A and B are shown apart, each in its own frame.
Chain A
Amino acid sequence: MKRIGIFCLILLFCLAFSVGCKKETTVEKQDYFFSHQSVRVTTDDAAKPLLDALGTPTERIVRPSCLFGNANDVLYVYQGLEIETYTKDGIEYLYNIELVDDTADWKTPEGIGVGDARGAVVKAYGEPDSVSQNGTAVYNGKDMTLNFFYTGDTVTRIAYRKNV
């Protein structure tokens, strides 16, 4: 009689093992962050801390949504940097963070700025997850992408963008 009990235990464990290993945990994609002074943010974070840290923008343009007046997107332009936000329930969130030129020497936390070479990017971030049709290197985050635009081998633009 004891045999049956033991047999069942073994059967159970091999079942459990099969259930267990079926569940290989996929590697969790990490978001890419941008930091300025003490603020470290990425897309979908609240925009206020970064905007306060950056001070008054040189230009502020509103993209009125086709219909709903209050849910506008706003572009804040700074020297060499552009921040785009969207509004939800009255709170502004980060939509895009873009390093547009090398006039103000903006760098990503990993030390890459506009004007650096393709090799430096690969060294800092590894191979891109994909390269788009016009040669832009795309690194995937959880719900965003980090994009490096190239002319030839030099970076012309770095963009943290929310997945639409």
Chain B
Amino acid sequence: MKQIQLKRWLAAAAILILLALLLCALNRLLLPKYRSGNTEGRLTADYYTDVKTRHQVLFLGDCEVYESFTPPTLWEEYGISSYIRGNAQQLVWQSYYLLEDTLRYETPEVVVFNVYALKYGTPQNEAYNRMTLDSMKFSPVKLSAIRASITEEESFASYLFPLLRFHSRWKELTQDDFTYLFDSSPVSHNGYLMKTGVEPMTSSRAGSPLTDYSLPVSSMEYLEKMRLLCLKNGIELILVKSPTNSWGYWWYDEWDAQINDYAAKNGLSYYNFIPEAEKIGLDFTTDTYDAGVHLNVSGAEKLTSYFGKILRENHGLEDLRFDSGLSAVWQEKVVRYQQEKEGLLK
């Protein structure tokens, strides 16, 4: 009797293991790959492919960051190694937790945070949450990031087992889902998503007046948490506002005043690039791909070389091109960057 009992338990255990494996495989298969169309969904995942390289500068923020700075240019012109951990509509607490996540691997010397996202005080949109959080490596940091970002309709469990959210994708599986099943090659250039289109900015209309200009308390709290975290790890926090200022995404002067006060009170440098557009050499008829909302690659390169000088002179970031190991790594990235640029511009 014992023998049959044992055989039964083994068979049952084998089935359960098989079931677990099948579910993991389905989980990976059904998770969106973000390879064509919205490649922004891969930005968080890209970082883990470059985690071994030393990054002096970590950029954090939403599309105003990952469309405004080009790390390869920063390396070519100034030998400064950087990475952009940005996502579509990345909220301030998500930036904070991505910083905590990065600190599990390395400690950058400088963190640059784009302040536009401070206007959102509450969780906004399920799709953006998923794209930002799903590909974060599993850790307590990820759990707190989920808890802080989850909207009303979302369930926490569907972040732990994404299959619960994307199960109905079995109907929309495409070739991409299979070819990129195990492919984790990066989509971006150290977090920068290249956009070469040109759509001139025609209207200089300002944003409509608001009834209340105070930045949400919850976002300022997370900015403060970010500042303290940088302080604790000996990182210099720099606040920036990208030069783009269109009616749809208007940066109100009252907000700018609050950021200036905050920076002055805590001894942080804050660079608002909007008034310095001419000095940077930006021309919003050629340097933007969506009528002034985001910079295209030529605009981003101009801004990066301008900001590189500030980083070198005001923040003493040394030139690491002497380090042969790092140079080799970066050389490869620069080549890939140039190739993609030529390919797209052809």
Contacts and interface: CB of A to CB of B under 8 A. Distances in A.
Direct contact of A and B (CB under 8 A): yes
Interface of A: 59, 61-64, 66-68, 73, 75, 77, 82, 84, 96, 98, 132-134, 136, 138, 145, 147, 149, 157, 159, 161
A117 to B, nearest CB: 19
11 contacts: A62-B291, A64-B290, A64-B291, A66-B89, A75-B248, A96-B208, A132-B212, A138-B211, A147-B211, A157-B209, A159-B208
B203 A59 contact: yes
Given A133-B212, A134-B213, 10 more contacts: A59-B205, A63-B247, A63-B248, A63-B293, A66-B128, A67-B40, A67-B63, A98-B208, A132-B211, A133-B213
Interface string B185-212: 0000000000000000001010011011
Nearest to B89: A66
B205 to A, nearest CB: 6
Interface in B281-327: 290-291, 293
Nearest to A135: B211
B5 to A, nearest CB: 56
Main secondary structure of the interface of A (DSSP, over half): strand
A136 B211 contact: yes
B127 A75 contact: no
Interface residues of B, number: 23
A133 B248 contact: no
Contacts of B209: 149, 157
Contact of A66 (B88, B205, B247, B291): B88
Contact of B208 (A62, A82, A134, A136): A82
Contacts of A161: 211
B174 interface: no
Nearest to A149: B209
Given A73-B248, A133-B213, A68 B291 contact: no
Contact of A134 (B88, B212, B290, B291): B212
Given A75-B247, A132-B212, A133-B212, A67 B88 contact: yes
A75 B38 CA distance: 25
Nearest to B62: A66
Given A73-B248, A98-B208, A159-B208, A64 B213 contact: no
Contacts of A68: 38, 127
Contacts of B156: none
B212 A66 contact: no
A64 B248 contact: yes
A66 B203 contact: no
B170 interface: no
Contacts of A63: 246-249, 293
B139 interface: no
Contacts of A61: 203, 205, 247-248, 291
